[in-house]
Structure 1
Amino acid sequence: MMLEKINLEKVLFLDIETVPEVYRFEDLDPVTAELYNQKTRFLQKDEQTAADVYERAGIYAEFGKIVCISCGFVHETRTGKSIRMKSFYGDDEEKLLVDFKRLLDDNFNSPYHVLCGHNAKEFDFPFIARRMLINGISLPNALDIAGKKPWEIAHLDTMDLWKFGDYKHYTSLSLLCHIFKIPTPKDDISGADVARVYFEENDVERIKVYCEKDVVALIQLFLRFRGNDLIDEADIVFTSNS
């Protein structure tokens, strides 16, 4: 799939923010606590316990939940390109997943549509699919990859594209934006702060803003990969479903 031949208006760019289902390890029921212990035993070094590595609970779909899905669409006209942003976020994970599924079913449900994220093949796409099933939501066609051949799965991953077949290293979106000279606004939080901001400050709006910035950066990076000009900040339009 040659990037310059992809119709940008057929690509849905996305990023998710996740947190543990409960904030502290001691709040887990005994069965869940033991299952988390088993799941993370390989992480427990030098007398560490499951509680010591509980800050990673949000990266596991079995022990975490989604609090925000931000999506970006590129709109092309004769005068240039613009970005339209839409976010699904809040405390009700089932609702935001149902709303996101409706977006995919209504607007990104053909063989010509593509989903794109950064490290999304390893994280975002499977996490969303797993949380949908856990919430009793049937998978949209764009995420239902069971039985499909690799070339039938319309998923793009900017980290995967940057590897060029080299699977030894993880490369962050921040690093790629830096080396491609993509301006990114300074964030007041990082990924490590999301659980604290969610549980202690109850500020999902702040998390949403952080997530949307990553999607804008993702789109700009994809444009750089194609050899295109960046989209001006003035040409970014935001709408949200809270």
Structure 2
Amino acid sequence: MARIVFDIETVGVEFESLDPTSQEFLLANAKDDFERQMIKEELGFSPLTGRIVTIAILNPDTNKGAVYYQKQNNEAEEEIDNNLLVPCVDEKEILKKFWGLASHYDLFITFNGHSFDCPFLMIRSAIHKLKPSVNLIHYRFGDKPHLDIYDKLTNYGAVRWKRSLHLWCQAFGIESPKDKGITGHDVAQYFKDKRCREIAMYCFGDIKSTAKLYEYWEKYIK
């Protein structure tokens, strides 16, 4: 079975670019300035107010992969340890690259992909009028074509100790991309600073950690 691990990184639109009705709706339940600011900073978590700036993929059987990311500084395609870093002109090209490869795989492995990556990918593709080569929105408790390792490890959310990828990595002795100084909360600012290549490297670190976690699942828990 051809398997692939993938992860995305996203950024939100500028709040002021939204129409007045959307702004009013988003802030309707905010109780104070702190909550209003948090809402503005979390626009990247929804495909309705955010977009994809990086998709990283890794074949856990060959340990080869690629990262497709938005070009910001005239970057050129490069290879690092048999993995490709591919700058793209925009989100649509990133999505096209991903779906072009997706058709060659049978199983898609994520960390928390049921709740975030998969629906985000599918909806953003539809917005760009792109037909996904694989339907990644499906029955939650199935394993194919998408396996969410976070769902598996937390018994589909039934446990009380749901935790971040970083904490799972710490527990299993896996190197975490957060150890290198960037976290998901930094992505928006890195993008504003035109540091998308660094976002791409962080995203690739995420999938390497996810692949290791999946290996533990396969060998010792499944």
Give the TM-score of the pair, scaled to structure 1.
0.74
The Cα of 1:162 is off from its aligned counterpart by: 0.7
Q: Aligned with 1:95: secondary structure?
A: helix
2:111 is aligned, of 118, 122, 136, to: 118
Q: Please, which of 113, 120, 139 is the counterpart of residue 132 of structure 2?
A: 139
Work out the CA distance in 2 between the residues paired with 1:125 and 1:188. Answer: 26
AA in 2 matched with 1:157: D
Aligned match of 1:16 = 8
CA distance in structure 1 between the partners assigned to 2:140 and 2:207 by the alignment: 28
Cα contact 2:114–2:140 (8 A) shared by 1: no
Q: Which has the higher contact order (CA 8 A, sep 6+)?
A: 1
Q: CA RMSD in A?
A: 2.3
Shift of 1:136: 1.1
Q: For structure 1, which runs of at least 5 residues remain unmatched after alignment?
A: 1-6, 76-81, 229-242
Which secondary structure does the structure 1 equivalent of 2:51 belong to? strand
Name the SS of the counterpart of 1:227 in structure 2.
helix
Give unpaired runs (5+ residues) of structure 2. 71-88
59, 64, 70: which one aligns with 1:73: 59
C-alpha distance in 1 between matches for 2:19 and 2:26? 11
2:119–2:137 Cα contact (<8 Å) kept? no
* Alpha-carbon distance in 2 for matches of 1:120, 1:52: 23
Aligned residue number for residue 163 of structure 2: 171
Q: Of the candidates 217, 220, 235, which is equivalent to residue 209 of structure 2?
A: 217
Q: CA deviation at 1:50?
A: 4.1
Q: Tell me if structure 1 keeps the 8 A contact 2:136–2:145.
A: no
1:48 Cα deviation from its structure 2 partner: 5.7
- Larger Cα-atom Rg: 1
Question: How far off its partner does 1:33 sit?
Answer: 2.1
The Cα shift of 1:35 comes to 4.1
Runs (4 or more) in structure 1 with deviation over 6 Å come to: none
| Residue 18 of structure 2: aligned partner | 28
State the match for 2:101 in structure 1: 103
- Cα distance in 2 between the residues matched to 1:212 and 1:198: 16
Distance change (3 Å), C-alpha of 1:216 and 1:152: closer
- Report the AA paired with residue 161 of structure 1: K
Q: 1:207 aligns with which of 178, 199, 210?
A: 199
Structure 2 length-normalised TM:
0.80
Q: Which residue of 1 aligns with 2:83?
A: none
State the AA in 1 paired with 2:115. Answer: E
Residue number in structure 2 paired with 1:232:
none
- Superposition map of 1:43-62 within 5 A: 44-46=30-32, 50-62=36-48
The aligned counterpart of 1:89 is 69
Residue 32 of structure 1 deviates from its aligned partner by 3.4
Instruction: Return closer, same or farther for 1:143/1:179 CA change in 2, 3 Å cut-off.
Output: same
Distance in 1 (CA, whole Å) between partners of 2:143 and 2:110 is 17
Measured after TM superposition, the shift of residue 203 of structure 1 is: 1.1
